[in-house]
Chain A
Amino acid sequence: MSVPAIELDGVSLAFRDTPVLEDVNLRVEANDYLAILGPNGCGKTTLLKVILGLLRPDRGRVLVQGRRPEKSRGTLGYVPQHARFDLDFPIRVIDVVRMGRLAARPLFRPLGDADHKIAQRELERLEIADLALRPIGSLSGGQLQRVLIARALTLEPKVLLLDEPTASLDERIGVSVFELLKELSQEMTVVLVTHDIGAISQSVRNVACLNRTLHCHPTKELTSEILEATYGCPVELLAHGQPHRVLGPHGDES
């Protein structure tokens, strides 16, 4: 068995006195495609930042491909929530996407043709090559989301972490992003967090539910009981009229 892509061991983190993560254990195998599901404010973004090494947990151990996150720079791709960006920043799409190459080019080393080719390749993969010279302030939410995914892929990561990748995508775009993620999970580990139950397409291999503590479900079976425990209230499973996934047996209320 190879080294797991991500391993969290008893991770806890509190902001001031408010616990955000409590004793989270998680093991993500290489080339898994995992969705972490949870309500707003349950610590999903915090969990991603802990894995990325942007936040240090109060207790517990985080390993990314067997190493501390700080030592794994350049192997982790990060797609943040696009809503938090300053769209007034003077920068073009191509410049944002090329930022992924910073991992391969240390200080004082300019980007070269090889880097520009990789950036171009990812622009084309995300079908946004025609937007390359547009300022980011002129993009729609869905387009910006694709730019951020392209940037993360330009880093050529081993593990791709996405924060609410469907937050503002319309159904048509959303579905094709999931097709892309499914395709990507052939070559890298993909972990996404979302509060949107409907967003979990049939391509996701595993599901974990987070609400301060984490519950892993190694199968694709998502039951109402599991969701109820996560969301703290009865949740009805909806298929959104899409041929998404085979759902587990429902509880009495459905």
Chain B
Amino acid sequence: MIEALSFPFFQRVLIAGLLASIACGVIGALIVAKRMSSVSGGLAHAAFGGVGLGYWAGFSPMLGATGFGILASIAIGVAYRRLQSGLDTVISMVWAVGMAIGILFVAFTPGYAPDLMSYLFGSLLFVPWSYVYLVAALDVLIVLAVWLLFKEFQAVSFDEEFAEVAGVPVDRMLYALLGLCALAIVTLIRVVGAILAIALLTIPAAVARHWTQTLQGMMCVAVGVAAVCTVLGLFLSHALSESLALSAPPGPLIVLSAAGIFGVSAIARSAKGRR
């Protein structure tokens, strides 16, 4: 197991995964506490539209994903704030429309058909250093924004109306939250994939909710749980290929590790009998 750490590619994957855990834990705690974790799914799939557009028009799919992610977060924000009802409906629409656009554009693209699966579950075995730096930059942005604006993020997540009465710019805070979420997903989509981004945003935060009573505590525990899932999934993948010669991609294993930890946590929590 430990010998895996001597491979440079494994080191880069591990560092990228741990850095991704920071972004996912912090943003995940906010969206799970606010009960809008499905925005992660909506944004992740909306980004596919941009990936497809990028392939077709010949520019970087990541650029397209970023553009579509930002557009989708604005659409979700407008639907939530202006139309009042139907956040879940809009998320589902953004989700489906993003995928539909992506698939259409990929079909239009002549010749080489890119492997969309790699955008779903990522390709964790190939992580260049430049990507590690990108995730680190994302972490700095997210941690700084949440640290400097913590009291506003907390107030808006807990009670938008009171926050507004107290003079907090609620609209701008919500767009900032959705925008950070979109940036996190788009950054993670290339290597960890859309599904893993959703899993790392929601499952560790849900586990953290079992054991913490403050938003700050929930963020810290969520980061820790995400890191544990990432490490567990990567080592499981390595162990399976070493001992059983199974080439199991690490992305799905990370998701399943997270789900397993959630199950254990939920059982332990109800055994402890709190609420």
Contacts and interface: CB of A to CB of B under 8 A. Distances in A.
Contacts of B168: 102
A93 B157 CA distance: 15
B165 to A, nearest CB: 5
Interface of B: 33, 35, 148-149, 151-152, 154-155, 157-159, 161-169, 209, 212-215, 217-218, 275
Nearest to B218: A90
B167 A73 contact: yes
A110 interface: yes
A89 B214 CA distance: 8
A107 B33 contact: no
Q: Which 3 A-B pairs have the closest CB atoms?
A: A73-B167, A135-B213, A102-B166
Given A54-B165, A91-B215, A85 B159 contact: yes
B161 A54 contact: yes
Max chain A C-beta neighbours (<10 A), residue from B162, B164, B168, B214: B162
Interface stretch (A19-27, A74-82, A227-235, A240-248): A74-82
Nearest to B161: A54
Nearest to B32: A90
B152 A107 contact: yes
B151 A73 contact: no
A52 B162 CA distance: 10
B212 A90 contact: yes
7 contacts: A73-B167, A74-B167, A77-B165, A90-B217, A99-B162, A102-B151, A137-B275
Contacts of B209: 88, 90
A74 B166 contact: yes
A53 B158 CA distance: 19
Nearest to B208: A90
A111 to B, nearest CB: 7
A111 B157 contact: no
A106 B209 CA distance: 29
A78 B162 contact: yes
Interface of A: 49, 52-54, 73-74, 76-78, 80, 85-86, 88-92, 95-96, 98-100, 102-103, 105-108, 110-111, 135, 137-138, 151, 155
A106 B218 CA distance: 25
B225 to A, nearest CB: 15
Q: Most chain-A CB neighbours within 10 Å: which of B154, B158, B167, B212? A: B167
Contact of B166 (A95, A103, A107, A108): A103
Contacts of B275: 137-138
B213 A92 contact: yes
B166 A91 contact: no
Contacts of A53: 164-165
A91 B154 contact: yes
B149 A90 contact: no
Among A78, A85, A99, A110, the one with the most B-chain Cβ atoms within 10 Å of its Cβ is: A99
Contact of B164 (A54, A88, A95, A105): A54
A99 B159 contact: yes
A101 to B, nearest CB: 8
A161 B174 CA distance: 25
Given A90-B217, A108-B149, A137-B275, A155 B154 contact: no
Contacts of B35: 86
A106 B151 CA distance: 10
Given A52-B165, A73-B166, A89 B157 contact: yes
Contacts of A102: 151-152, 155, 163, 166-168
Contacts of A52: 161, 165
Contacts of A80: 159, 161-162
Chain B CB count within 10 A is highest, among A54, A73, A91, A105, for A91
Nearest to A148: B162
A80 B158 CA distance: 13
A95 B159 contact: no
A103 B162 contact: no
A98 B162 CA distance: 12
B215 A90 contact: yes
A89 B33 contact: yes
Nearest to B168: A102
Contacts of A138: 275
A155 B166 contact: yes
A112 B161 CA distance: 24
Contacts of B218: 90
A122 to B, nearest CB: 14
A90 B214 contact: yes
A173 B255 CA distance: 49
Nearest to A157: B165
A155 B152 CA distance: 15
A11 B151 CA distance: 34
